[in-house]
């Protein structure tokens, strides 16, 4: 059995081999934590974006979309707090000259302790078999209790230091826990410093007095600065939302785990403007709706969990992550934040403009509160790929790699294959393709044996392979081979369109969301 780490490495290699994700500017040896999406990756990503966009704007008549510029007036970032507070605690190892996030080093240490506990539990479960009482074991086993006590103390100390922004204490924790640099193996650490994650550039020529501007680290601020424009021109009534999909940039200190943490990535964010005092009710609503959105894809309900934040961002009064079980543990894919009226108030203060809502029911004006849902497209992409990637042992000793992608998201919906390249079969196959291609992403493949062609489609997650054979010319039927079961059916050409539509129609997901 391959370890999770080995499977993840294989997935990364698979993404490259089958045109999903390439390292950026690879011919120049790539660029750290920047990736390009290939021909299949972009289709999958576009389908994810469409699922999100429609779930927000189509299913909610009070949510509209925008597409704001990446460049924004620099005061935006002063007002939002990013210039002063969008920092990560950074620490260097003097021997390896490697740079780390101090919080990540400590979180890794916490994870190691958790792993020790889990190993003890697993060992005992094997030993005791059916009679094993896990809860009792955790409460009474001396080794587990010792590790748990260590974990609790470290966690409390770490949370306190993070909440207080106490950099000296973070360093002391690293020293006390005897955390070593994974490269040099030494504890020769510098002090912890704050590092701002925003990329800077200049706008205009220097002679004219260039303006220092930032690449946006989140798309949300493009929504806040357009709140008045949209509310007025759309005659929006509270509660209402503004949705946006776009690129964001962060100069991450430790960029790792493939597209999980990138320096250029894409977000899908929605700000929901509400009456002050109703935020907890709406926070709960969006928390539930967003989890439903994830689960509707059918990747496995057990792969998701909420994680409530202990350390709240500078703008939030409640926050939860939706985490997905990646091969490297449960990890954040989406954040739901109750952002109070922080952003709108700050923009009002810094711009000198009145940014409020006149509530006709209350006959008064107020600064709306905001619930935000914020999901990374790339992390969503990764979670889907991790859940879909399977290496299967087949009868007869053969193996296959298959992506069990939800058919609605699959990059290619059907591949049309003439059994041989002669006898009029390619022409018939083209006819079938022409019938399908306006509605579904369809490809054509006539090279190699049918078996090899099936494998190629399995590897990119195509739900249907359609083979045209000599009988097709007489009976107008084709052989449909299904990706997941590998079963085959004879299907009338006239019924193909409806069969594929039923399987890949996003409406089935929308109905689940509205149920």
- Going by C-alpha positions, the residue among 188, 189, 177 that lies closest to residue 112 is 177
Q: What is the DSSP string of 87-122?
A: EEEEEEBTTT--EEEHHHHHHHHHHHHHHHHHHHHH
CB closer to ligand GAP, 52 vs 265: 265
Q: Name the minimum Å distance from CB 262 to ligand GAP.
A: 4
- Going by C-alpha positions, the residue among 197, 202, 201, 203 that lies closest to residue 217 is 197
Strands (E), 275-349: 304-308, 318-326, 329-338
Q: Is residue 401 within 8 Å of residue 389, measured between CB atoms?
A: yes
Q: Name the minimum Å distance from CB 264 to ligand GAP.
A: 8
Strands (E), 348-447: 357-359, 364-366, 369-376, 389-393, 399-403, 414-418, 442-444
**Torsional class of 172: left (φ above 0), alpha (ψ -120 to 50), beta (otherwise):** alpha
**Which residues are near ligand GAP by CB under 6 A?**
218, 220, 250, 252, 261-262, 265, 267, 269, 332-335, 372, 374-376, 378-379
Q: Name the minimum Å distance from CB 478 to ligand GAP.
A: 41
Q: Name the minimum Å distance from CB 73 to ligand GAP.
A: 18
Q: Name the minimum Å distance from CB 218 to ligand GAP.
A: 4
For residues 363 and 431, give the distance between their C-alpha atoms in angstroms, rounded to a whole number.
64
Q: Name the minimum Å distance from CB 347 to ligand GAP.
A: 15
SS3 23: strand
Q: Do the strands 488-492 and 477-482 form a parallel or antiparallel pair, or are they unpaired?
A: antiparallel
CB closer to ligand GAP, 338 vs 479: 338
CB closer to ligand GAP, 36 vs 252: 252
CB closer to ligand GAP, 375 vs 466: 375
CB closer to ligand GAP, 313 vs 506: 313
Q: Is residue 191 within 8 Å of residue 168, measured between CB atoms?
A: yes
Q: Which residue has the tokens 């990540």?
A: 104
SS3 68: coil
Q: Name the minimum Å distance from CB 244 to ligand GAP.
A: 10
Taking CB positions, which residue lies at the least distance from ligand GAP?
376
Q: Name the minimum Å distance from CB 275 to ligand GAP.
A: 21
CB closer to ligand GAP, 181 vs 270: 270
SS3 12: helix
Q: CA angle, corner 125, sides to 121 and 130, nearest 5? A: 150
CB closer to ligand GAP, 82 vs 481: 82
Which residues does residue 357 pair with via DSSP β-bridges, in sequence order? 366
CB closer to ligand GAP, 158 vs 224: 224
């Amino acid at each position: 059995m391959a370890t999770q780490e080995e499977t993840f490495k294989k997935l990364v290699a698979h993404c490259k081999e089958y045109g999903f994700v390439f390292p950026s500017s690879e011919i120049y040896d790539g660029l750290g934590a920047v990736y390009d999406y290939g021909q299949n990756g972009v289709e999958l990503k576009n389908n994810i974006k469409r699922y999100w966009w429609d779930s927000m704007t189509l299913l909610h008549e009070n949510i509209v979309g925008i597409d704001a510029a990446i460049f924004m007036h620099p005061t935006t970032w002063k007002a939002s707090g990013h210039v002063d507070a969008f920092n990560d605690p950074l620490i260097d190892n003097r021997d390896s000259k490697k740079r780390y996030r101090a919080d990540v080093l400590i979180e890794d240490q916490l994870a190691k302790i958790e792993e020790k506990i889990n190993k003890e539990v697993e060992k005992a479960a094997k030993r005791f078999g059916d009679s094993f009482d896990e809860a009792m074991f955790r409460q009474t086993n001396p080794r587990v209790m010792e590790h748990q006590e260590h974990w609790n103390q470290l966690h409390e100390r770490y949370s306190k230091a993070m909440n207080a922004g106490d950099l000296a204490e973070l360093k002391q924790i690293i020293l006390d826990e005897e955390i070593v640099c994974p490269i040099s193996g030494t504890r020769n650490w510098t002090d912890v410093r704050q590092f701002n994650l925003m990329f800077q550039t200049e706008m205009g020529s220097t002679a004219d007095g260039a303006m220092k501007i930032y690449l946006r680290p989140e798309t949300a601020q493009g929504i806040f600065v357009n709140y008045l424009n949209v509310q007025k021109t759309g005659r929006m009534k509270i509660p209402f939302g503004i949705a946006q999909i776009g690129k964001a940039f962060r100069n991450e200190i430790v960029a790792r785990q493939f597209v999980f943490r990138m320096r250029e990535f894409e977000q899908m964010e929605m700000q929901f403007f509400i009456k002050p005092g109703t935020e907890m009710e709406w926070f709960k609503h969006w928390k539930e709706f967003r989890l439903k959105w994830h689960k509707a894809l059918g990747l496995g309900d057990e792969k998701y969990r909420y994680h409530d934040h202990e350390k709240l961002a500078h703008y939030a009064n409640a926050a939860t992550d939706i985490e997905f079980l990646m091969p490297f543990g449960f990890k954040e894919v989406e954040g739901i934040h109750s952002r109070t009226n922080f952003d709108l108030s700050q923009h009002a203060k810094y711009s000198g403009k009145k940014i409020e809502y006149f509530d006709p029911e209350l006959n008064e004006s107020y600064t709306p509160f905001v619930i935000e849902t914020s999901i990374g497209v790339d992390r969503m992409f990764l979670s889907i790929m991790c859940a879909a990637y399977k290496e299967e042992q087949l009868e007869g000793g053969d193996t296959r790699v298959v992506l069990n992608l939800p058919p609605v998201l699959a990059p290619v919906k059907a591949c049309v294959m003439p059994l041989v390249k002669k006898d009029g079969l390619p022409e018939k196959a083209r006819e079938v393709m022409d019938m399908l291609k306006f509605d579904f992403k369809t490809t054509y493949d006539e090279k190699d044996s049918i078996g090899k062609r099936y494998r190629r489609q399995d590897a990119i997650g195509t739900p249907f392979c359609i083979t045209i054979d000599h009988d097709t010319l007489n009976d107008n039927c084709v052989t449909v081979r299904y990706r997941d079961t590998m079963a085959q059916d004879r299907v009338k050409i006239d019924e193909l369109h409806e069969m594929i539509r039923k399987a890949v129609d996003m409406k089935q997901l929308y109905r689940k969301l509205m149920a």
